[in-house]
Amino acid sequence: MNVFLRRRLLGLISVLFGVITIVFLIIHLVPGDPARIMLGEGALPSDVEALRESLGLNRPLIVQYFDFFAKLFQGDLGRSFNTGQPVLSAIIERFPATLILTAASMFFAIIIAVPIGIITAAKRNTVIDNLGMIFSLIGVSMPAFWLGPILVLIFSVKLGILPVSGSGSIKHLVLPSFSLGFALAAIISRMTRASMIEVLDQDYIRTARAIGVSEKIIFLKHALRNAIIPVVTIVGLQFGALLGGVIIIEIIFSWPGIGQLLIPAIMRRDYPLVQGCILFIAVVYIFVNLIVDIIYAYIDPRIKYS
Amino acid sequence: MFLYNRNLTRRFLFKIVFCIFLICNILNINCGKKNGTLKDKNELRVSLSVNPMTFDPRLGSDVSSYRIVEHVFRFLVQKDTLSFIVPDMAYSWDMPNDKTYVFHLRENIYFHDGKELTSEDVKYTFESVLEPELGSPMRYAYEDIEKIITPDKYTVEFRLKKPNAPFLSNAIMGIVPKHIAEKEGKDFGLNPVGSGPFKFVKWNQDDMIILEAFDRYYRGKPKIERIIYRIIPDATTRLLSIDTGEIDFLMNDFPSEYIERFEKNSDLKVIKHIGNIYEYIGLNLKNDYLKNKDVRKAIAYAVNRDEIIKSFLNNLGEKAYSPLSPVNWAYNPDVIKYEYNPEKSRLLLDKAGFPDPDEDGSLFRFSLKYKCNSLNQESRQKAQIVQNYMKDIGINLVIESCEFAKLLDDIKNSRFDMYSLQWVGISDPDIFYKMFHSSGEHRNNYFNSHLDHLIELGRKEIDINLRKKYYYEIQEILSEDLPYIGLWHKTNSAVMNKNLIGFVMFPAGDFVSMRDMWWEFNN
């Protein structure tokens, strides 16, 4: 396990290096001068030049690149060009909100999807199974940025039972997390169903039935435990997709997370903030996948890392 | 097996129903009652579309920042609804000569920490803006200041290097407390202390800002106890938020097609008034076709502004014949007005040497590139509308939409033939310096030495009648030369709860009158 972890951590560093390089080059090569955007239309050319100088934007790109890395190794992600706030503290301030929303979406998706997957597998080729299929099709066909406003129209405008946007209470979390988690629920439910069906056809399940083990035990203990392994993989991989989707949902629901920090930062060419946010998201994504790999070993005794 | 599974399904369904019941209880959901129908009479919830950058009046140049700054801070002078300068913290001012302004401050004006505001704070505010280290985007406006003198606690004297008529407009700068701003440095904007009607309480980044009424405000404590600004970046969410009563006040930040919906809503009221936003088409005068004045005039005649304002803007605009709006004191109503006349456009293009190649309109005379902001729906739609009008007179307009920062970069580096953009917050006519003076931005390669001279005279002249004369002539020249094609002045629209009283609309859509607003319920 230790060797595996070491190898994965080394891989992680090379992935992060790649991510930082690509983001750095893209954001610096896209037209748009941060100093001019900051100082506005009427700024004196001398002031724009002075600001470019003070922000270090007049240095060659390669120097800026290595300088960014040098600071990164000291744990310094720089300061936002626009607000002057340290990038790390700006991200840390907003990340809990993003994490809460992502986790709630994941929670919603799992509590809806896994039972649906189990039931549709148990009721294979019945009306319930077909309803499950329809649910999945609807789920994967509705993008979160469309579903969100539709849910707001129903639950906030028509019924008036949930707030349109904002944060601060569980009420505020319901619609954004459901909008984000719904498509994931559709995927997980199909995956759970397929996996359960495969496992239920195995010899050991037939044997269990033959010796009189109750259906409850067969489903929840013997079948589900084995069927859940590919589902965990999907959940882990989808976490990255959720982190991407959460950015749009945060804008729609005015949720004060990383998305609300990142999008305006891109518009204003706030290089340190954009680099910091992307780097942070990449780190989280990689770690979640690493955790998923480690969880495998616990839920499937056949998997051993060496 | 079937029986067992049915039991399993029943149990599962029961658990789901129980969970929903539990969640509803936790959320304290009260079905059938809309959010926010019962108002806290002392609270006002306002929507902002963008998180402010800072609350330091010396640094914040974005609209969101200003919406907070105008409540937390007060200025030496302020503008009235016609853009005339009127007293604020300075009850009067005089000019011993054309290079000196002396402001007389009111006594007993206090900062939110209880310390009295004096001439030293005013001096410090303006001097710090001039420090390049602060990086103020407003520094250019004060570069003519030579010296600031404080003869006594309530008098400030500004000595300028040369006469500067727009100086009074530029004196609209939030005064910061020297004893705090000096110590806090750039962090002052995170926890501001001013002398305005509302004091800063809390800023949850990207979420909300809370201000509270200041009881020692020099004009008396505001009737509204708290203003809560909600940051809502999505236009649809803003619309739904005011529909459900989650916010009480919304200014301009909505697509114009929603105005009818707001006007029909009996819980809301809409206040509209012409604003000082100038929408225009910029032309690159280095382009082989556009350097010909007749081509520019042909384009101006080809755009049907009446139709655009009626159909596209839902009447939230007025035709623009000058960058200055009709409510500005320097507006010249007698400039050339290019009313829709496609036939005249075609004749002008023929005259300019670009005849219709096949004489039946099926082939284009020439092509031009038109840049617009890809992230702004209105900008994209506007581009398509203009494209259709140009097609009608035989000009092929190729739309290139790009993100705003790139659009600005392209304009600055003359990588365009035509573009659409707006000038926001035009109040002092000295804006012509930025727009068209050779030392200004001159976004479109238009140079005119006589115009430069008139703009300089306007900047130097203190007599408002003489200034008016110069700006009248400037507007006449611009309407003849057409470096810009004016489209419309956008109408400011404030949508608010019908029980809110006392809002006054300013040309820049300022929130300043919120200090005098109150709730009035019939029952």
Domain assignment present for residue A17? The answer is no
Note the pLDDT of residue B175.
96
Note the pLDDT of residue B35.
41
Radius of gyration for the alpha carbons in chain A, expressed in angstroms and rounded: 24
Asked if the model's pLDDT at residue B4 lies above 50, the reply is no
A257:B206 CB<8 A? yes
Tell me which chain A residues have a C-beta less than 8 angstroms from the C-beta of B246. Answer: 163-166
B206:A261 CB<8 A? yes
Domain assignment present for residue A3? The answer is no
Pairing of strands B226-231, B208-213: antiparallel
Residue B39 contacts A, CB cutoff 8 Å: no
How far A169 CA lies from chain B's nearest CA (Å)?
9
Note the pLDDT of residue A213.
85
Note the pLDDT of residue A306.
56
Last residue of a domain, one of B159, B187, B215: B187
Tell me the CATH number at B172: 3.90.76.10
B1:A149 CB<8 A? no
Number of other residues whose CB lies within 10 A of the CB of residue B462:
15
Domain assignment present for residue B476? The answer is no
Domain assignment present for residue B396? The answer is yes
Containing structural domain, residue B420: 275-427+484-490
Tell me which chain B residues have a C-beta less than 8 angstroms from the C-beta of A32. Answer: 403, 405-406, 408-409
Domain assignment present for residue B112? The answer is yes
Residue B244 contacts A, CB cutoff 8 Å: yes
Q: Which residues pair with B399 in a beta bridge?
A: B370
Last residue of a domain, one of A76, A104, A135: A76
Question: Mean pLDDT throughout A248-262?
Answer: 89
Tell me the CATH number at B23: 3.40.190.10
Phi, psi of B199, deg, nearest 5: -105, 150
**A130 lies in the same domain as A172:** yes
Distance CA B489, CA B428 (A): 16
Tell me which chain A residues have a C-beta less than 8 angstroms from the C-beta of B441. Answer: 41-42
A residues 230-289 closer than 8 Å to B (CB): 251-254, 256-257, 260-261, 263-264, 267-269
Asked if the model's pLDDT at residue B230 lies above 90, the reply is yes
**A124 lies in the same domain as A66:** no
**B196 lies in the same domain as B182:** no
Note the pLDDT of residue A236.
79
Note the pLDDT of residue B451.
95
**B317 lies in the same domain as B246:** no
Which of A149, A160, A260 lies at the smallest CB-CB distance from B33? A160
Q: Total structural domains in chain A? A: 2
Domain assignment present for residue B248? The answer is yes
The answer to whether the Cα torsion of B86, B91, B97, B101 is positive or negative is negative
Q: Total structural domains in chain B? A: 3
Probe site for chain B from A114, A128, A165 (most B CB atoms < 10 A): A165
**B376 lies in the same domain as B389:** yes
Question: Mean pLDDT throughout B413-431?
Answer: 88
B147's tokens: 């010296």
**B317 lies in the same domain as B401:** yes
B residues 362-391 closer than 8 Å to A (CB): 375
Query: Looking at per-residue confidence, does A54 or B371 come out higher?
Result: B371
**B87 lies in the same domain as B183:** yes
Query: What 3-state DSSP class applies to A5?
Result: helix
**B132 lies in the same domain as B158:** yes
Of B54-63, B92-101, B338-347, which range is least confident?
B54-63
Q: Which residue does chain A place closest to B235, by CA atoms?
A: A252
Distance CA B166, CA B80 (A): 15
Probe site for chain A from B14, B17, B206 (most A CB atoms < 10 A): B206
Q: Which residues contact B48 (CB under 8 A, 6 or more apart)?
A: B64, B67, B209, B229, B230, B231, B232, B253
**A136 lies in the same domain as A279:** yes
Last residue of a domain, one of B149, B167, B187: B187
Note the pLDDT of residue B1.
40
Asked if the model's pLDDT at residue B411 lies above 90, the reply is no
CA B152 vs CA B26, B95, B108, B230: distances in Å: 62, 17, 14, 42
**A60 lies in the same domain as A171:** no
**A189 lies in the same domain as A221:** yes
Question: Mean pLDDT throughout B402-424?
Answer: 86
Domain assignment present for residue A304? The answer is no
**A140 lies in the same domain as A280:** yes
- Arithmetic mean of pLDDT over chain A: 84
B residues 283-322 closer than 8 Å to A (CB): none
Tell me which chain A residues have a C-beta less than 8 angstroms from the C-beta of B54. Answer: 82-84
Domain assignment present for residue B498? The answer is no
Tell me which chain B residues have a C-beta less than 8 angstroms from the C-beta of A257. Answer: 206
Last residue of a domain, one of B187, B204, B237: B187
Residue B27 contacts A, CB cutoff 8 Å: yes
Query: What 3-state DSSP class applies to B482?
Result: coil
Distance CA A179, CA A169 (A): 17
The secondary structure of B308-350 as a DSSP string is IIIIISTT-EEE-SSSS-TTSTT--TTS------HHHHHHHHH
Pairing of strands B366-373, B395-402: parallel
Tokens 């998180």 belong to residue: B51
Probe site for chain B from A164, A224, A249, A266 (most B CB atoms < 10 A): A164
**B294 lies in the same domain as B244:** no
Last residue of a domain, one of A13, A41, A76: A76
**A68 lies in the same domain as A138:** no
Asked if the model's pLDDT at residue B6 lies above 70, the reply is no
**B23 lies in the same domain as B101:** no
How far out from the chain centre does Cα B515 lie?
Answer: 20
B231:A256 CB<8 A? yes
Q: Which residues contact B33 (CB under 8 A, 6 or more apart)?
A: A160
A160:B5 CB<8 A? no
Pairing of strands B518-519, B500-501: antiparallel
Instruction: Tell me the count of A-B CB pairs closer than 8 A.
Output: 163
Which of B132, B186, B409 lies at the smallest CB-CB distance from A84? B186
B189 and B77 in contact (C-beta within 8 Å)? no
A227 and A192 in contact (C-beta within 8 Å)? yes
Asked if the model's pLDDT at residue A65 lies above 90, the reply is no
Task: State the helix-helix crossing angle for A87-122 and B2-27, rounded to 10 degrees.
Answer: 150
**A238 lies in the same domain as A295:** yes
A243's tokens: 């982190």
Domain assignment present for residue A173? The answer is yes
Tell me the CATH number at B372: 3.10.105.10
**A185 lies in the same domain as A71:** no
Tell me which chain A residues have a C-beta less than 8 angstroms from the C-beta of B189. Answer: 83-84
CA B252 vs CA B224, B236, B264: distances in Å: 22, 13, 17
**B421 lies in the same domain as B279:** yes
Note the pLDDT of residue A142.
87
Residue A149 contacts B, CB cutoff 8 Å: yes
**B75 lies in the same domain as B118:** yes
B residues 447-466 closer than 8 Å to A (CB): none
Domain assignment present for residue A188? The answer is yes
ipTM of the complex: 0.72
Question: Mean pLDDT throughout A143-152?
Answer: 89
- Arithmetic mean of pLDDT over chain B: 88
Distance CA A34, CA B361 (A): 45
Domain assignment present for residue A21? The answer is no
B185's tokens: 């440095």
How far B308 CA lies from chain A's nearest CA (Å)?
27
Asked if the model's pLDDT at residue B3 lies above 50, the reply is no
Distance CA B194, CA B126 (A): 15
Of A30-34, A37-41, A132-136, B177-181, which range is least confident?
A37-41
Domain assignment present for residue B516? The answer is no
Residue B208 contacts A, CB cutoff 8 Å: yes
Domain assignment present for residue B119? The answer is yes
First to last CA, chain B: 64
Tell me the CATH number at A170: 1.10.3720.10
CA nearest A33: which of A48, A43, A46?
A48
Residue A64 contacts B, CB cutoff 8 Å: no
Distance CA B291, CA B296 (A): 8
Q: pLDDT grade, residue B36 (50/70/90)?
A: very low
Number of Cα atoms under 13 Å in the Cβ half of residue B9? 15
**B304 lies in the same domain as B410:** yes
Residue B191 contacts A, CB cutoff 8 Å: no
Tokens 């469309």 belong to residue: A146
**A139 lies in the same domain as A280:** yes
How far out from the chain centre does Cα A146 lie?
Answer: 18
**A156 lies in the same domain as A67:** no
Distance CA A189, CA A191 (A): 5
**B260 lies in the same domain as B219:** yes
Tell me which chain B residues have a C-beta less than 8 angstroms from the C-beta of A247. Answer: none
Containing structural domain, residue A198: 94-299
Tell me which chain A residues have a C-beta less than 8 angstroms from the C-beta of B31. Answer: 159-161
B473 and B262 in contact (C-beta within 8 Å)? no
Domain assignment present for residue A259? The answer is yes
**A209 lies in the same domain as A70:** no
Which of B31, B205, B246 lies at the smallest CB-CB distance from A159? B31
Question: Highest mean pLDDT range out of A76-90, B16-30, B313-327?
Answer: B313-327
A166:B5 CB<8 A? no
Residue B421 contacts A, CB cutoff 8 Å: no
